[in-house]
Amino acid sequence: MKCPTCKKTRQQFESTEFLPFCSDRCRLADFGKWLDGDYKVSRPLRMEDEVLMEEIPIEQDIPEEGIQYE
Ligand SMILES: [Zn+2]
């Protein structure tokens, strides 16, 4: 096993508390990479979530449709 951030081998780890990272510093460095947007630029998650949430109430209204307009 190696630290994903600094590539130290397991034997060089400061502690086992932050596995798979060697230290709290490396763990936070990797977490910061996600927050900075390295991984989220390629895909617009917000748009997809909104479409899914709008579909649910529309389907639930269908049984009442005929009654309302006659
Ligand atoms: Zn490290």
For 14-70, what is each residue's pLDDT tens digit? Answer: 889 999 999 999 999 988 877 776 555 555 556 555 555 565 555 556 666 666 666
Which amino acid makes up residue 24? D
CA dihedral 12, 15, 21, 23 (to 10 degrees): -100
Tell me which residues have their CB within 5 A of the ion that is ligand 1: 3, 5-6, 22, 26
How far is 5 from 23, CA to CA, in rounded Å?
Answer: 10
> What phi and psi, each to the nearest 5 degrees, are found at residue 44?
-80, 90
How much distance in Å is there from the Cα of 40 to the middle of ligand 1?
23
Say if pTM beats, i.e. exceeds, 0.75: no
